[in-house]
Structure 1
Amino acid sequence: MNYFDKKISIIVPCFNHEEFLAETLTSVLNQSYKHWECIIVNDGSIDRSEHIALEWSNKDDRFIYYTQSNQGVSVARNNGIKKSTGSYILPLDADDVIHENYLEEAIITFENNPNLKLVYCNGKKFGLENESLNLNKYNYKDLLLGNMIFCSAMFKKTDFYNTSGYDNDMHNGLEDWEFWIRFLDEESKVIKLEKEYFFYRIRENSRNTIKSELHRNVNWQIFSKNIDIYKSHFIDPISQIQLSQIYKNMYQFSLDYRLGNFIINPFRKIKNWLFSKNEFRKKNPY
């Protein structure tokens, strides 16, 4: 089958994005790859987002509009994916923009790599800031320490249904990182496109511009929800992994990784948990 026969479903959750939604949808309309649908999920907006979305769905039937009561971005993404009909999924926030060649290069990459799990790309900030995003290449153990994949990465819909979807309980950001932790593993094949195909809008009230204490709480939420994964990668009862080095790596990632206006803070509670576990083993070696 020719790769042009594969439909891509772009999922756009929207909550009070009247100022930016048209620009986001324009970037979808301008894609060089034409076999797509764009699922707009209005998450209880009280501005003119619905009016704008309906204008676009009336203009081009590839734009499909749904509305729901305000339940958060995770519920909106999950519902949008469930309503989609494409073979591939690309989440896209309603204030961000994608380059016109992103879909085409991503689908070609997938079709040339049958075992591929995820495609993402380099990106750039725009709005209040204007600089390239320094995103690392994928490594699962590094992913556990700090996210290097933004939400707008492409994956197969069949792989999505092997997970429980985005966590509906995560309302304070980083739900995409938590999803990648469960969606991927150390065996997953992931390719980063080297071109800047994703543009991340920085604005004063960006969802990820939140206080450091809240970030620590979200980090702890991610860790506690996936504690078995962290234990399997960082707690080795036979080799007694150098826990001090693990924490050093976590701290370095927290300093190095920046997306938007926020810095992922050190996993202080994780560090304390790891070291207390190590002390317990010293006292109870068997």
Structure 2
Amino acid sequence: MEISSNTNRCASQLTAVVTSFNQGEMIQEALKSLLNQTILPDKIIIVDDGSTDEKSLDIIRGLESMVNQVPIMVHRQKNSGVSAARNTGIQLANTTFALVLDGDDKLEPSFVEQALPHIKKSSEIVAVSSWMKTFGVLQSIVCPSGGDIRKFLSHNCCPATHIMRCEAWRKCGGYDETMRTGFEDWDYFLRLLETSPKARIAIVEEALIDYRTVPASSNVRSMDKRLELMKYLMEKHSNAYAKHMVDVMLDLEAISISRLYAWESEMKKQILNSNLSDASKKFMKSPSYGDGGMAAAVRIAARI
């Protein structure tokens, strides 16, 4: 594994926690991206969450024996899910800050250098992340906004990869280890933001996270249970939702309007090409009412 020969400084009180489960050579790419940071973490903890693939196990053993300027520790546990793996790594970190990185993702070299100052300059910042550059089946730039708890109630505004304040992690109780079908990151950020009325999550407005996209990822699969998971979040954080209900409803409506207009534009193009899908034909024959659907159908029909 090629590591850049730089004169990197070590970050003050930062441990990188990398979680892995049957990820083969991808874990090497994640580790390389950490070791190529312009400011290095003090140490790296790899939590293997019960891998069974022999190639993955061989690679993990090889990483454990590597000699680097940053100490690497491997912790093995029975398969318990990503939330449990992250909690284990952060517990072992024993530092002021922890960087959480999934074993199939990577970081641009300046992630730590650009992100860490945000969380160091204010105790109100409980976590910091950045925009993402996706690779794999989707090549795009994703721009989450961060913010306070009001922003996070309508949708998740922070990537899973981030630097956290470990004191806030302890205060909120860490990741919910019962959540193994998705949204564990969103729930965790809500819990972090509930630790203080002024708590905020900061975002570096540059794509410094390389996020791998695959059709069968847990993030994609969680959409099948989105309503069920959202119900769980709303009941779990009911006080915050009740307090900020107007903000939540307006944010959701804004998201809905934005997607509605984008869909309208595509519908108009498809009508011109006489290439409407069955779902679109059904909608135009019987548009929804009370949610902006009928107005959208009128605009589409009029080709506005």
TM-score by length of 1: 0.79
Alignment-derived partner of residue 54 in structure 1: 61
- The alignment status of 1:65 with 2:74, answered yes or no, reads yes
Q: Distance in 2 between matches of 1:64 and 1:200?
A: 24
Q: Distance in 2 between matches of 1:141 and 1:5?
A: 31
The answer to whether the 8 A contact 2:45-2:89 is kept is yes
The verdict on how the C-alpha distance between 1:254 and 1:71 changes in structure 2, with shifts beyond 3 A counting, is farther
Unpaired runs of at least 5, structure 1: 235-240, 258-286
- The alignment status of 1:225 with 2:236, answered yes or no, reads yes
Q: Distance in 2 between matches of 1:198 and 1:120?
A: 8
Q: CA deviation at 1:227?
A: 1.6
Alignment-derived partner of residue 167 in structure 2: 158
The verdict on how the C-alpha distance between 1:98 and 1:5 changes in structure 2, with shifts beyond 3 A counting, is closer
Q: Deviations over 1:16-43 (max 9, x none)?
A: 1114111111101111112421111111
Q: Distance in 1 between matches of 2:240 and 2:17?
A: 28
The answer to whether the 8 A contact 1:36-1:86 is kept is no
The answer to whether the 8 A contact 2:182-2:222 is kept is no
Alignment-derived partner of residue 89 in structure 2: 80
Secondary structure of 2:115's aligned partner = helix
- The alignment status of 1:99 with 2:78, answered yes or no, reads no
Q: Distance in 1 between matches of 2:188 and 2:236?
A: 11
Q: Deviations over 1:73-98 (max 9, x none)?
A: 11111011111132211111110011
Secondary structure of 2:94's aligned partner = coil
The answer to whether the 8 A contact 1:57-1:64 is kept is yes
Secondary structure of 1:92's aligned partner = strand
Alignment-derived partner of residue 190 in structure 1: 201
Larger Rg: 2
User: Structure 2: which amino acid aligns with 1:227?
Assistant: S
Secondary structure of 1:100's aligned partner = coil
Matches within 5 A, 1:219-258: 219-234=230-245, 246-247=248-249, 249-253=251-255
Secondary structure of 1:154's aligned partner = strand
Q: Distance in 2 between matches of 1:217 and 1:39?
A: 33
The answer to whether the 8 A contact 1:37-1:86 is kept is no
User: Structure 2: which amino acid aligns with 1:250?
Assistant: L
User: Structure 1: which amino acid aligns with 2:16?
Assistant: I
The answer to whether the 8 A contact 2:133-2:207 is kept is yes
The verdict on how the C-alpha distance between 1:230 and 1:148 changes in structure 2, with shifts beyond 3 A counting, is same
The answer to whether the 8 A contact 2:21-2:50 is kept is yes
User: Structure 2: which amino acid aligns with 1:42?
Assistant: D
In the comparison of the two structures, how many residue pairs are matched? 246
Q: CA deviation at 1:211?
A: 6.0
Q: CA deviation at 1:254?
A: 6.5
User: Structure 1: which amino acid aligns with 2:51?
Assistant: S
Q: Distance in 2 between matches of 1:113 and 1:248?
A: 29
RMSD: 2.3
TM-score by length of 2: 0.74
Secondary structure of 1:208's aligned partner = helix
1:8 to 9, 14, 18: 14
The verdict on how the C-alpha distance between 1:68 and 1:109 changes in structure 2, with shifts beyond 3 A counting, is same
Alignment-derived partner of residue 177 in structure 2: 168
Q: Deviations over 1:172-205 (max 9, x none)?
A: 1110110000101451143211121111100122
Alignment-derived partner of residue 200 in structure 1: 211
Q: Distance in 2 between matches of 1:100 and 1:196?
A: 11
Runs of 4+ in 1 over 4 A off after TM superposition: 254-257
Q: Distance in 1 between matches of 2:115 and 2:109?
A: 11
Unpaired runs of at least 5, structure 2: 1-8, 260-304
Identity of matched residues, %: 25
Q: Distance in 2 between matches of 1:124 and 1:11?
A: 21
